[in-house]
Amino acid sequence: MRIILGVGAGIAAYKSCELLRLFTESGHHTRVVPTPDSLRFVGEATWAALSGEPVTCGVWDDMHDVPHVRLGQTADLVFVAPATADLMARAVAGMSGDLLTAVLLTARCPVVFAPAMHTEMWQHPATQANASALRDRGAVVLEPAAGRLTGADTGPGRLPEPAELFGVALRVLARGAGGLAPDLIGRRVVVSAGGTREELDPVRFLGNWSSGRQGYALARAAAARGAKVTLVAANVALDDPAGAEVVRVTSATQMRDAVISAAADSDAVIMAAAVADYRPEARGDSKIKKSGTAPMELRLVQNPDILRELAAHRARPGQVIVGFGAETAEMVSNGRAKLTAKGCDLLVVNQVGGGLAFGTSDNEAVVLASDGTQTWIPRGPKETLADVVWDLVAGRLD
């Protein structure tokens, strides 16, 4: 595949060196097109050495090849990282004063922008309007990560890690090779992931074996398909997916509050988290001590049913609600009963226990729909299952 790696003038340009290496080592023919000012951060010699390709910034360089037209025409993917506020504004305006903005005008392949800038710049109405305009035109604009910026500043605006950006690029390339455009552009989606924990005392909790891998795969797939993703993560030790806003929670009640809040303006909600059905009636303020040999009595109360609440009180007409059901036997019959009880549109039922599903890199499931249809997903990577689920959701969003 032929990739154009566009580099804007931001300090995060140093991360794009690693992204370039990931592209080239995986066999992709990659040409770096930096903006002139970006060379203040990473020089032309570095890009040329890492890519094995010539590096130019101006539309007048190598005019016999007409690069400002040919590069965009022949690319399979244009990936801009970092995409600065200035570069996004010039792209929206259709300016072509340098080679990168000219390439953006001529590209007929998928285009991905990975913004990176200070929090105030990202949250400014002008930048938000430009991100929306780029999405409206069919580009994938990832949400920046939250974290340490330059100096002591922290907040949303950080460029996601290169490995996560590489994963997005591979997903976009795969869909493009199959003739599939990003079909969730302009959509807001919520995904929950991980397993909730209900505290008994300051050192103990009731929990489950969920690792969050399936929920994270769903978030990554949605971001690569152009959606604005909110990921509500409970007790997950995984790298943040590129393009997703991550909200961290611990307990079922915290997850309920975060999901309901995020769902208020969303088009779809996928509850992939393993949410505890019960919590202790009372939490000890100090560590519970043994009391001889007598058994300890533990009283439990029921947690809120987040999936049923979402389905019963949809935030907007046409909102698609998807649940996950973990079963150890009778997957279809138990799943159908749960689908009816919850009132959701789709229920992804997978078998658990004996080394299945929890903590693994693969999964298999049957997706039951409220219209009576069912879709079997054979064992394979959790990313594959995620794409099938989003295919089913996208069809219902229309």
DSSP conformation letters of 203-223: TEEE-----SHHHHHHHHHHH
Partners of 201 in beta bridges: 204
Two structure tokens written together for 334: 């138990």
Q: Is 208 in the active site? A: yes
DSSP conformation letters of 28-57: -EEEEEE-GGGGGTS-HHHHHHHHSS----
Long-range contacts of 180-184 (CB under 8 A, 24+ apart): 181/110, 181/138, 182/110, 182/138, 182/140, 182/224, 182/225, 182/226, 183/225, 183/226, 183/394, 184/222, 184/225, 184/226, 184/227, 184/390, 184/394
Instruction: Find where tokens 């105030």 sit.
Output: 120
Residues 6 or more apart whose Cβ sits within 8 Å of residue 156: 119, 122, 123, 143, 144, 145, 146, 245
How many CB atoms are closer than 10 A to CB 298? Answer: 12
Which of 208, 334, 350, 363 is catalytic? The answer is: 208
Distance in angstroms (rounded) separating the CA atoms of residues 356 and 210: 11
Distance in angstroms (rounded) separating the CA atoms of residues 204 and 194: 18
Two structure tokens written together for 362: 């693969």
Q: Is 267 helix (H, G, I), strand (E, B) or coil?
A: coil
What are the residue numbers of the active site?
208
